[in-house]
Chains A and B, each alone.
Chain A
Amino acid sequence: MAAPTASETTPSAGRGPMAPRPFRVLSRRQETEDTWTLALEPADGGPGPGFGPGQFNPGQFNPGQFNMIYAFGVGEVPISISGDPGGEGPLEHTVRAVGPVSAAICRAEPGAQLGVRGPFGSSWPLAGAAGRHVVIVAGGIGLAPLRPALLGALAGRDELAGLVLLCGGRSPSQLLYREELEAWREDSRLDLGVTVDSAEVGWDGDVGVVTTLIGAAPFDPANAVAFIVGPEVMMRFTVDALLDRGMDPADVHISIERNMKCAVTQCGRCQFGPTFACREGAVMSYAAIEPFFRTREV
């Protein structure tokens, strides 16, 4: 399967890739104690979905892409799109408050405005997954950038050999999209495994690291493609577990997070070996990055 290429990067043109476009917060839903999902719509009266090339179009992104979200007067951070790639609804981002900018974004109430640049970056290779098993492994907030891939895979489920979602989290209360997780648990199109690092008695899921779910997950490693997002230490062990199971490194894809200021390869902050996370990534094939994935200085 071919790795995503730089040509997939489609910065918001027309106004230039560095100019944010104002979006209005439609709704704000708390996911966990420090994480919110925001629904956004264009606030400038400009074009919505279906307008010309180069215009930002929240209805036209590829699963795995990200936007630069600007809290006016505070700063800008890259945030993966977490909404439905096939949906007509607003642009969705799930944001964890880990610093002043993301905290300001999380505080944005309905009616408030945020700046948006994007979408940027590569995407999960769903198009090449027909006839294969899709294995999605999410750790913590890593489920947010994988949600569009999962929703896309569910929409095209008839073309897949199988669909597996394995989620790891800190505790049951720290899991994202808990109502959706319950629905996915009942969805016969999907094999779901959920595990947490610790839980009190009464939790009906598993307890342990997410890699412990891989051995018994129902997929054919010779005919599978895997998408992984989570803390890098979790992704390293997940890659190892998938390769131990017999998967080809070219079929394992991960999303690389790096500090990023411009998202258009100008600032150099997201350089990852010979690549840029904003251009070749954030989604990259493990085969492509294997030579330097475990290099500590990278």
Chain B
Amino acid sequence: MRSIEDLVGELPTFAGLSPAQRELIAGCGSNRVFEAGEHLAREGDAADAFFVIRHGRVALELAASAKGALMISTLGEGAVVGWSWLFPPHRWSFDARALEQVRAVAFDGACLRGKCDADHELGYVLMRRFAAVMLERLQATRLQLLDVYGGPDGE
């Protein structure tokens, strides 16, 4: 059976980190399995963790009273779920629901924040990784908001 440190070494989010940094991060991680329909997180709950998906798909959803729940995005293998653990008030902004059986590594947010405070180099490296994830999601969201398929270019 592979250790959390082995798994951390395989996750794209942590590619290129030093063995010592991977060991520090792995110390805050644990294996989790979610069955289809089970929630990884719920909007408004304390964001005390984030997840990296190893297998399966996760939907980010937002309850909208008039329309029921809306799917904001789906995430697959290798994707990071959650960055609210990084910033106060550490609350989830969306629901995260397993669309099928999901195997993920869960990372304790408080544990990792403590290690980043103690080791700023680790904190800088991790912050860069999460900034890249956030940039990618922001750009994708902008394209979604453009509604490029909705507006005809004319004849």
- B74 lies within 8 A of A206 (CB): yes
- B71 lies within 8 A of A209 (CB): no
Using known A-B contacts A77-B155, A101-B155, A211-B140, determine if residue A197 contacts B147 with beta carbons closer than 8 Å: yes
Q: Number of B interface residues at 8 Å Cβ cutoff, please give it.
A: 27
Query: Across the two chains, which residue of chain B brings its CB closest to A210?
Result: B143
State whether the Cβ of A26 lies closer than 8 Å to any Cβ in chain B: no
Using known A-B contacts A208-B144, A211-B140, A233-B143, determine if residue A170 contacts B149 with beta carbons closer than 8 Å: yes
List residues of chain B with CB within 8 A of the CB of A216.
Answer: 76-78
Q: Which residue among A75, A174, A199 has the maximum number of chain B CB atoms within 10 Å of its CB? A: A199
Give B31-90 interface residues, CB cut-off 8 Å to A: 57, 59, 61, 67-74, 76-78
Which of B70, B150, B153, B154 touches A201 (beta carbons < 8 Å)? B70
Mask, A145-179, CB within 8 Å of B = 1, is 00000000000000000000000111000100000
Which of A139, A174, A200, A259 touches B67 (beta carbons < 8 Å)? A200
List residues of chain A with CB within 8 A of the CB of B153.
Answer: 98, 231, 257
List residues of chain A with CB within 8 A of the CB of B57.
Answer: 206
Which of A77, A170, A208 touches B74 (beta carbons < 8 Å)? A208
List residues of chain B with CB within 8 A of the CB of A234.
Answer: 143, 148-149
State whether the Cβ of A230 lies closer than 8 Å to any Cβ in chain B: yes
Query: Across the two chains, which residue of chain B brings its CB closest to A197?
Result: B144
- B154 lies within 8 A of A198 (CB): no
Q: Which residue among A75, A200, A204, A211 has the maximum number of chain B CB atoms within 10 Å of its CB? A: A200
Give B99-155 interface residues, CB cut-off 8 Å to A: 99, 140, 143-144, 146-150, 152-155
State whether the Cβ of A212 lies closer than 8 Å to any Cβ in chain B: yes
- A168 lies within 8 A of B149 (CB): yes
Which of B70, B147, B148, B152 touches A96 (beta carbons < 8 Å)? B152
- B155 lies within 8 A of A207 (CB): no
What is the distance, in angstroms, from B95's C-beta to the closest C-beta of chain A? 10
List residues of chain B with CB within 8 A of the CB of A201.
Answer: 59, 61, 68-71
Query: Across the two chains, which residue of chain B brings its CB closest to A215?
Result: B78
State whether the Cβ of A195 lies closer than 8 Å to any Cβ in chain B: yes
- A207 lies within 8 A of B140 (CB): no
- A233 lies within 8 A of B146 (CB): yes
List 7 additional A-B contacts (Cβ < 8 Å) besides A200-B68, A203-B71, A233-B143: A75-B155, A140-B148, A170-B150, A206-B74, A207-B71, A230-B149, A231-B153
Q: Spell out A's residues near B (CB within 8 Å).
A: 75, 77, 96, 98-102, 139-141, 168-170, 174, 195, 197-201, 203-209, 211-212, 216, 230-231, 233-234, 237, 257, 259
Q: Which 8 A-B pairs have the closest CB atoms?
A: A98-B152, A140-B149, A99-B155, A170-B149, A231-B148, A206-B74, A201-B69, A207-B71
